[in-house]
Amino acid sequence: MGDHEISDSQAVELLMQIEAGLDNIDQGITVFDQNLELVFANKRLGELLDVPARLLTRGTKFEALIRYNSEHGEYGPGDVEQQVAERVRVAREFRAHTVERVRPNGRVIRVSGAPLAMGGFATIYTDITQQRRYEIELEKRINAQTRDLRRSEERLRLIANEVPAGIAYLDQDEVFQFVNRRFAQSYGQSVDDIVGHKSQEVLSPHMHEDSAPYFARAKAGEAVEFDLEFDHEDGRKLEIRVFLRPDIRADQTVRGFYVLSINFTRHRQAAAALSQAQKMEAIGRLSAGISHDFNNLLTIILGNLRPLAEQMEDPHLREEMVAPSLRAAKRGAELTRQLLAVARRQPLDPKVVNLNEAVEEVANLLKPSLPATTQLRLDLPSQKLWAKVDPGALENALLNLALNAQAAIEESTRKEHGLIELRLVAGADQHIKIQCRDNGTGMSQEVQKQIFDPFFSTKVHSGGTGLGLSMAQSFAQMSDGDIAVNSAMDLGTEFEISIPAVAAPTQTEAVPEVPQIPHKQGALALLVDDQDEVRAVLRRELVGLGYAVLEAENAAEAMELLDEVSGIELVLSDIAMPGGMSGMELGHHVRANFGHVGLILMTGHANLVKSDFDQGLNCPILRKPFEHNSLARAILAAEVQVSLARGEQSAI
């Protein structure tokens, strides 16, 4: 006997050990020979398939085992003989096979057969019920999660379509993989029209050119944001802010990038409106702050220049020296009022104006200030054109336009041959066009966008305040008109003010009423103002009307004089004075205790309106500086008020 030979008894013992081991595994096993007779079946097979032990003994025919299974419904409904014959036929082919069978009790059995080298085949039966249930449950979960993801995707798509912003996703090749509805509508296309197309096929050439550097940075993994001018499909020009966020994989490579574009046009407009309002408020505060002192100074200047002009014997000297000074001082008086008009703190004072004469007067004012190298040309129609405007505001607007034109000429290469043209045109739309043209440097489109903004100036270092054109625009708009600019670099500039035309005034409208005031010989007036120079000017005016004048520096001093001096017929008082008591309080004292005394209040605050300080006094209000005729009308009105008060007392 060789080293590897075993005895029959040992072989039997070994076989029994193998069978015992196979009986204890969790799978069923059968071995059939080439005649399809059972050679071996372990106990687990009987447990798995509920096969009686008598059919699991050596020599059992394969057909008998199959018949038992068929009769007990293992193969489902059908003819038993057919089921047996088919399975025997397949078994005789001795081919490897694996099938899964659901038993009547619901258990799932996997049957795996393989042919044997010496003939026949071995089959393994595995209970995969738990595995199959797990797989079914897993499939259910996957299906449920897929449905949830689809619903979530639909919700996200719905939300993305309702978000007031354009949303898109582009891959590394800049191909649109996703866009929301708003993004597509901005380009006049559907979502399907854009998805799958490259950025250069969707964006306009200039937008793609402007965006390309930012797209490159996003594809490199950088979060980017930038502003862009966007031509909307409906023709609007919008300002949008674009946010780019890279889509980064776990390995830090960039898959693509997300795009979020937000329309900032309204935000910018609101910010611009707020900035404009703040600038207007600043102008209003500035003007209101200086108007009182400035108008007091002008009262002194005008009050001394007028009598100087009247007493000057040399008419040429009067016309050349004093008259321009008077006009300049009057324009100074208009300045704070016009600044307040720009800030909408004070309305304009419109009158029917002959525009031909007004433009010609502006030209006369301009000529002395222009260099000999600049020609001023007037182009006026033969017929007179009329408009209802504030004369001072019109003059100031045209002066600002012309002086800006001269400044532009000085900065150009044509300053030795400068040309400013003032032109008046009757439009076919019942509007009158006032044009100011020059051959100066011109303006860029960027400058033209800001030219009417308060405090914007291209001449900051040469004294520009940035208020002149803003005042011109305010004048045009408050005159129910508009102003436009047309300019190009090195080609000059044209400003055009358009205002409604009106009919010529009647004779009675054209001739202002001159008040007739009887000489107040010996009548006593009380003049109240805290500035000596202002009182000196106003005292001269009152004395010229025949009044004897008492003076007080403040309201408290005036009250003492009223109590101590009899015969005072008129009180002319400033409103804002030091000492804790205003002219209004003095006025109420006069009304309450001296009903026979005429009352006139005056103020240098150009931003105040009558309702701000009247408070039931019902008296004339004069704004400094005022003309002699204005004072005369106020005195007549004060006398009427006194007469009415006396009449009421008599009736009582």
pLDDT (0 to 100) of residue 238: 79
- In the listed set 505, 526, 541, which residue is the last one of a domain according to the structure? 505
Q: What is the CATH number of the domain that holds 438?
A: 3.30.565.10
37: in domain: yes
Do 438 and 526 belong together in one domain? no
Note the pLDDT tens digit of each residue in 294-332: 777 777 887 787 777 777 777 777 777 777 777 777 767
* 115 and 96 Cβ atoms separated by less than 8 Å: yes
319: in domain: no
Measured distance CA(57)–CA(22) in Å, rounded: 15
pLDDT (0 to 100) of residue 651: 44
Strands 28-32 and 621-623: unpaired
**With pLDDT > 70 as the criterion, what percentage of the chain qualifies?**
82
Do 207 and 69 belong together in one domain? no
| Structural domain total, the chain | 4
Query: For residue 547, which of 509, 510, 600, 504 has the smallest C-alpha distance?
Result: 600
Do 496 and 392 belong together in one domain? yes
272: in domain: no
Note the pLDDT tens digit of each residue in 15-28: 677 777 777 788 99
Q: Provide mean pLDDT across the span 268-280.
A: 64
pLDDT (0 to 100) of residue 1: 44
**Amino acid sitting at position 129:** T
pLDDT (0 to 100) of residue 550: 92
Do 611 and 482 belong together in one domain? no
Do 430 and 568 belong together in one domain? no
Q: Which residue has the tokens 């193969």?
A: 75
**With pLDDT > 90 as the criterion, what percentage of the chain qualifies?**
33
Q: Provide mean pLDDT across the span 376-380.
A: 92
Q: What is the CATH number of the domain that holds 634?
A: 3.40.50.2300
In the predicted structure, residue 8 carries a pLDDT above the cut 70: no
Measured distance CA(652)–CA(648) in Å, rounded: 6
Measured distance CA(67)–CA(443) in Å, rounded: 105
**Amino acid sitting at position 33:** D
625: in domain: yes
∠ CA 93-50-18, nearest 5°, is 70
Note the pLDDT tens digit of each residue in 499-522: 999 988 876 554 455 556 666 777
- In the listed set 127, 152, 181, which residue is the last one of a domain according to the structure? 127
Average per-residue pLDDT in the chain?
82
pLDDT (0 to 100) of residue 275: 64
Measured distance CA(503)–CA(388) in Å, rounded: 9
Do 354 and 495 belong together in one domain? yes
CB-neighbour burial class of residue 446 (10 A; exposed 0-12, middle 13-18, buried 19+): exposed
Do 258 and 372 belong together in one domain? no
- In the listed set 481, 505, 529, which residue is the last one of a domain according to the structure? 505
213: in domain: yes
Do 397 and 487 belong together in one domain? yes
Angle between helices 265-311 and 323-342 (to 10 degrees): 160
Do 171 and 213 belong together in one domain? yes
DSSP H helices in 318-380: 323-342, 355-366
DSSP run (H or E) holding 572: strand 568-574
Compare 555 and 609 and report the one with higher pLDDT. 555
pLDDT (0 to 100) of residue 468: 75
Q: What is the CATH number of the domain that holds 65?
A: 3.30.450.20
Do 111 and 173 belong together in one domain? no
pLDDT (0 to 100) of residue 461: 47
Measured distance CA(324)–CA(13) in Å, rounded: 142
pLDDT (0 to 100) of residue 287: 59
Please give the residue range of the domain that contains residue 239. 163-263
DSSP H helices in 24-165: 43-49, 62-71, 80-91, 129-162
Q: Provide mean pLDDT across the span 33-56.
A: 91
**Spatial CB neighbours of 135, under 8 Å, sequence gap ≥ 6:** none
∠ CA 186-191-194, nearest 5°, is 80
307: in domain: no
pLDDT (0 to 100) of residue 291: 63
**pTM for the full model?**
0.46
Q: Which whole-number Å values give the CA distances from 430 to 6, 427, 481, 501, in the listed order?
A: 131, 6, 11, 6
Q: Provide mean pLDDT across the span 545-551.
A: 90
1: in domain: no
Query: At 329, is the secondary structure helix, strand, or coil?
Result: helix
90: in domain: yes
| Structure tokens belonging to residue 193 | 């029209």
Confidence of residue 650 (pLDDT cuts 50, 70, 90): very low
Do 245 and 206 belong together in one domain? yes
Q: Provide mean pLDDT across the span 210-236.
A: 86
Do 591 and 638 belong together in one domain? yes
pLDDT (0 to 100) of residue 345: 46
